[in-house]
Structures are given as structure tokens and as C-alpha cells.
Amino acid sequence: MEKLYKIAIDTKGSDKGQEMMIRGALMALDRHPALGVCLVGDKDVIEKATATRPDLASRIEIVDAPDEITNYDSPATALFEKPNSSLVKALMLVSERDDMTGLINAGSTGALIAGSMRFLSGKERVRPALAAVLPAENGSFTCLVDTGATIDCGAATLLHFAHLGSDFMRRLYRLDSPRVGLLSNGAEPTKGNKVVKEAHALLRDAEDINFIGNIEGTGALSGACDVLVCDGFAGNQVLKVSEGIARRLITDIVKYSKATGDSGLMKLVSHLMGIYDFNSLGGGIILGAAKPVIKAHGAANEQSIVNTAGMLLNIAENREIFEGQ
């Protein structure tokens, strides 16, 4: 029998509601035969939504969680004030059970980061970072870290992000020596603010980091580096501006296709959507947690949950291979 990798899915917190998360989970089970899910949320809602798929019942577990942590809650206090929330219960589940591979959440990013540090800190209790794996111009992938978990960083924190990103790319993409770049406003070592200049010196002198120097914004998705390091504010802007530009270009192509009657352009649209649409990319990965945690986009749809589950499955399978060596 094929090994089953079980993941927890926090069904609450999504902009599109619990039902969408559950539908996405069912689609993920159809897509990935090696996947099992533990759905955490309102038990009655989950049972009703999954009743139509008795064929998947053996791979579905339900954990009742009546409360929800919202984006209006304080992340630090909500974890203590809402012990019956779906997020807290999902985090505890993944933390306490060896058979749980990881977690998907589409709710409060701050609460997920804080909860990962509280419940899923590794032995070294490192500061977690939120990373995104983005498609590069040359066909490879770039791990952008941090994308919003830590807004104000010191140089030592950026060095820490470089270690987390390098370790992740070694494990998941089998890169022996991931190339690390530092996001700056110029390629020269003298460019950047005080923190970036200090980080440049630390990265340059780090023997276990393959540092290739500063990367300007125009080269963020060029494939020049495998890991691009920055503070959470800058990383979040790179992520969202890239997403916004891609959406704008795709929309303009669709308008032009309709205006000119050139239906052939829709093939280009489908191609670009498959590369740049956030629903096709999965979600952000929390690095530094003892088990994989993925933050899906708040506006994610069912297909995004399928792809995010696939990311977790891929991480789990590659981690087994890596740790088995």
C-alpha cells in the first residue's frame, strides 16, 4: 500500500469561506492519491460538505473547532484567547502528532507566523520567515525570503534568512550550493541602506553561504539567484507588485484579444496564467518551523488549495529522501 501523507487544513480564515477550503481539499484528494487530510473547523459544515464523497472518507479526518482567528485579532493575544480556534487546533495537531506532515492556512498571516513559532519551533527555536518560490525568467525558481513575516530587520536577521532559504532550496530543489542574492537598489556593494550594506558584508564573509552579491529589483525574477534575501516589507512589495503587473498584462491581452478578434492570443493568456496566477503558484512557505507550514493567499480558490497541498506533499516526499541519505 502506498504511504499516506496526512496534512492539516485550517478551513477557516479564507476570504471565500469554509466551503471553498473543503472543496479544494476534496479536489486535492482526487489529484493526489498519496494524500490524507485532517479538516479543522466547524464539524457540521465539514461533515455536510464531505458527505457527497464517501469514496474519500478513509482519507479524511475531522477536528471540530468552533472559533476563528481573524485579521482583526491581535496575532500575539489571539493564540491564547482563542484556544478553540481552528488555527490553534490545527497547529497543535501538527505539533503533537507524528503522522501529520504539515499545515495549510489561508487566514491571518501574523497569527500563523506567531503560532508556528509557539507550536512548531525546532530544537534551535529559530525565528521563522515567510518565503515564496517564484518562477524565474530562465525556467528555474527563486526563493524570495522574507515576504512579510518580519518587516523591520537587522543585518543578522537577513543573514539568518539566507541560511533558511539556502537550506530549503537544497532540500526541495536538490541544489548543492544555492546562489544567494541580496535585494538592493544597485548591484554595487556600496548601494543600499545601512542594514543592506551591513548584511552585504555578513553574507560576503559567511563561508556556508554562496553569496553572489546585490540584486536589483529588475533582476528579482531573472533567475540570477536561487535565494533572494530582503526584509519583509520589501519582499512583500516584490511579491505583490509582480502579481499586480502580471494581472494587468494578462487583462490587457484579454482586452486586446476581444477588441481585435484575435482568439489565438487566449493561448498566451492560458500560458501566462499557469505561470503567474497566484492560484497556480500555491502559497508562501514558513521556513524555520519544525514541520512544513504553507500560507495560502486569502483570496485563494479551490485550485490554489490543490496546488498548495501538492507543494506540501512534494516537500514531505523530498524531506524523506533527504533525511534518508
Q: What is the pLDDT of residue 60?
A: 96
CA atoms within 13 A on the CB side of 297: 19
C-alpha cell at 142: 527563486
Task: Give just the sign of the alpha carbon dihedral 300, 303, 308, 309.
Answer: positive
For 27-59, write each residue's pLDDT tens digit.
999 999 999 999 999 999 999 999 999 999 999
Q: Length of the chain in residues, anyone? A: 325
Treating both helix axes as pointing N-terminal to C-terminal, what angle do 232-260 and 265-276 enclose, rounded to 10 degrees? 170
Q: What is the pLDDT of residue 322?
A: 44
Q: What is the pLDDT of residue 325?
A: 34
Measured CA to CA, the distance from residue 301 to residue 297 in angstroms comes to 9
The residue extents of the domains of the chain are 1-128+288-325, 129-283
Residue 11 in contact with residue 62, Cβ under 8 Å?
Answer: no
Measured CA to CA, the distance from residue 68 to residue 116 in angstroms comes to 16
Q: What is the pLDDT of residue 299?
A: 79
For 239-281, write each residue's pLDDT tens digit.
888 888 888 888 898 898 888 888 788 888 877 776 666 555 6
- 215 Rama class: left (phi>0) / alpha (psi -120 to 50) / beta: beta
Classify 1-128+288-325 by CATH class: alpha beta
Residue 150 in contact with residue 177, Cβ under 8 Å?
Answer: no
- CATH of the structural domain 129-283, one choice from 3.40.50.1000, 3.40.718.10, 3.40.50.300, 2.60.40.10: 3.40.718.10
Residues of the chain with pLDDT under 70: 1-2, 122-126, 274-282, 319-325
- What is the value of pTM for the model shown? 0.86
14: closest CA among 88, 85, 83, 70? Answer: 70
Residue 283 in contact with residue 104, Cβ under 8 Å?
Answer: yes
Treating both helix axes as pointing N-terminal to C-terminal, what angle do 17-31 and 302-324 enclose, rounded to 10 degrees? 50
